[in-house]
Amino acid sequence: MNRFDDRRILVTGAGSGIGQATALRLLAEGGHVVAADVVPDGLAATVARASSAGLDVARLHTLVLDIADEASVVAGVQGAVSTLGGLDVLVNAAGILRASHTHETSLELWNRIVTVNLTGTFLVTRSALPALLSTGRGVVVNFSSTSAEFAHPYMAAYAASKGGVQSFTHALALEYGKQGLRAVNVAPGSIKSGITDTTAGYLPEDTDWSLFAKLSPILDAGVESASGAPMAGPETVAGVIAMLASDDGAFITGTEIRVDGGTHA
């Protein structure tokens, strides 16, 4: 099923994890995709995976983009729109996670997390909106997190940034709905990715692991994080994004889709 034939798509954070899985899924369904990431080696890996999977790499383009830098975003999005000849779908998957006791969180770290996750999402969306609106059927898929609505210890800055993304997306949905734009959040949880595999390394040395007792999925997807925690693969979220960004999601906007295996049921 090629739900994305003739659709022009920009995916940030496409050099690894869910962003990479999403770029490959939308490419497999016929889309013309610009995969953007701050890490060139990650983008090379995305192209290699597409090639090894037998996908049409002629429809896959890469873009080195720092979503935390306004000049990089403005030039990068303009370049992506030019390469694709327009833009139908934006997937803001790029983000970072850091963890620390809130009382020990420096202003520098707080600002870094908020700048990448929240301000970066704003910058890319702002630059992409004129092209998305010109189609009359543009779609923005933003990345919230289960931490935006459910307590995750030692991640106050991350949770705040994702709560901001969630609210931002609701505002977009209402402001531009009459112009045909849809804006939706995905809220992944217990998904194996570069972020989740490195989380344990950021936690404080005196971490109270009992606080994580409620953060395990009900469903068993047969995947484990680097620390052995039960998880699902990033393609699980990519499939949901494919639905949301396609005509199958035509009546979905201004809401969140939680993909966490029942962790927060």
| CA–CA–CA angle 130, 131, 136 (5° rounding) | 95
What is the biggest distance separating any 2 CA atoms in the chain, rounded to whole angstroms? 52
**Alpha carbon distances (Å) from 29 to 12, 200, 239:** 18, 35, 11
pLDDT digits (tens, 9 = 90+) for 53-86: 999 999 999 999 999 999 999 999 999 999 999 9
Amino acid occupying residue 40:
P
Per-residue pLDDT of the chain (265 residues; tens, 9 = 90+): 699 999 999 999 999 999 999 999 999 999 999 999 999 999 999 999 999 999 999 999 999 999 999 999 999 999 999 999 999 999 999 999 999 999 999 999 999 999 999 999 999 999 999 999 999 999 999 999 999 999 999 999 999 999 999 999 999 999 999 999 999 999 999 998 767 666 677 899 999 988 888 788 989 888 887 767 789 999 999 999 999 999 999 999 999 999 999 999 9
In terms of Cα–Cα distance, which of 90, 9, 23 is closest to 53? 23
Nearest-angstrom CA–CA distance, 244 and 257: 9
Q: Six-digit token pair at 140?
A: 């923005």
Amino acid occupying residue 22:
T
In terms of Cα–Cα distance, which of 258, 211, 219 is closest to 237? 258
Q: What is the pLDDT of residue 222?
A: 83
Q: Six-digit token pair at 220?
A: 């068993």
Can you name the residues that pair with 64 across neighbouring β-strands? Answer: 37
Q: Six-digit token pair at 137?
A: 């059927």
Q: Which of 154, 158, 176, 202 is catalytic?
A: 158
Q: What is the pTM of this model?
A: 0.94
Nearest-angstrom CA–CA distance, 32 and 84: 7
Nearest-angstrom CA–CA distance, 120 and 126: 10
All structural domains of the chain, each given as residue ranges with its CATH number in brackets, are: 8-259 (3.40.50.720)
Any catalytic annotation for residue 158? Answer: yes
Nearest-angstrom CA–CA distance, 146 and 143: 10
Nearest-angstrom CA–CA distance, 231 and 243: 21
